[in-house]
């Protein structure tokens, strides 16, 4: 059955990548959560989408300019007109939450614009510390991050995110063991490509699906998962 992942939590109604958004995703019955991890100035894992703080918090600078302690005191609800008391969470706070439920976590490693030393290793260590190995997918736009994670944990699933490449070409590379899933933008996907991925044994988790029409099409195509701002 197709899985529904809450994109940055229930981000359609609540501040993205906050514990509130993750809790609301669980409440409405999402199968999983998609979130993003960066490293702080002091080398700690934090959950936020952008490298810069401005869009979600109104603060200046980059995630890497701040310590974890400073970041977790910053309100992260600017995209919802600051209506919620929701703050930037540490990745450990999320993992503690996830250890008490059955959510699958799609962890996007944000190294496509900034490079963080050992972020893959640190992410894996936190996942292991909270015994979440059976319920995670690691993903990234960065081939190198995916390759490193495959070396560190070849038994755990990895997905390549992309928005401008040929699905069939990537599917054949996936078949060679480089990754287990493709995570394409919906607009790049055609039914024939979905069939080809299935024949090669490659999973498809498609983003970002916020309309009933697109959802029904993907159900018909039998993709593995959809990533939506509205997981309800």
**What tokens does 49 get?**
């989408």
Contact predicate 185/214, CB 8 Å = no
Distance in angstroms (rounded) separating the CA atoms of residues 196 and 207? 19
Nearest 5 degrees, angle CA 42-CA 48-CA 52? Answer: 75
Task: Mention every residue, 6+ apart, whose C-beta is less than 8 A from residue 148.
Answer: 120, 121
Active-site positions read 7, 49
The separation between the first and the last C-alpha atoms of the chain, rounded to the nearest angstrom, is 16
Helix, strand or coil for residue 107?
A: strand
Give 202's DSSP letter: -
Residue 200 dihedral angles phi and psi, to the nearest 5°: -90, -5
């Amino acid at each position: 059955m197709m899985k529904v992942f809450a994109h940055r939590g229930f981000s359609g109604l609540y501040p993205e990548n906050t514990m509130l958004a993750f809790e609301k995703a669980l409440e409405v019955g999402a199968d999983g959560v998609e979130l993003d991890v960066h490293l702080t100035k002091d080398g700690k894992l934090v959950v936020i989408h952008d490298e810069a703080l401005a869009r979600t918090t109104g603060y200046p600078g980059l995630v890497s300019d701040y310590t974890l302690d400073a970041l977790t005191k910053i309100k992260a609800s600017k995209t919802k007109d600051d209506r919620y008391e929701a703050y930037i969470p540490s990745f450990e706070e999320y993992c503690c939450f996830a250890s008490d439920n059955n959510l699958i976590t799609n962890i996007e490693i944000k190294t496509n614009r900034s490079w963080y030393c050992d972020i893959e290793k640190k992410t894996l260590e936190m996942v292991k510390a909270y015994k979440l190995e059976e319920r995670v997918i690691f993903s990234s736009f960065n081939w190198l991050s995916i390759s490193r994670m495959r070396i560190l944990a070849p038994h755990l699933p990895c997905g390549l995110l992309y928005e401008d490449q040929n699905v069939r070409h990537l599917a054949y590379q996936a078949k060679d063991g480089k990754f287990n899933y493709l995570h394409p933008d919906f607009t790049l996907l055609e039914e024939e490509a979905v069939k080809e991925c299935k024949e090669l044994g490659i999973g498809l988790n498609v983003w970002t699906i916020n309309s009933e029409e697109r959802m029904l099409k993907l159900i018909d195509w039998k993709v593995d998962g959809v990533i939506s701002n509205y997981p309800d």
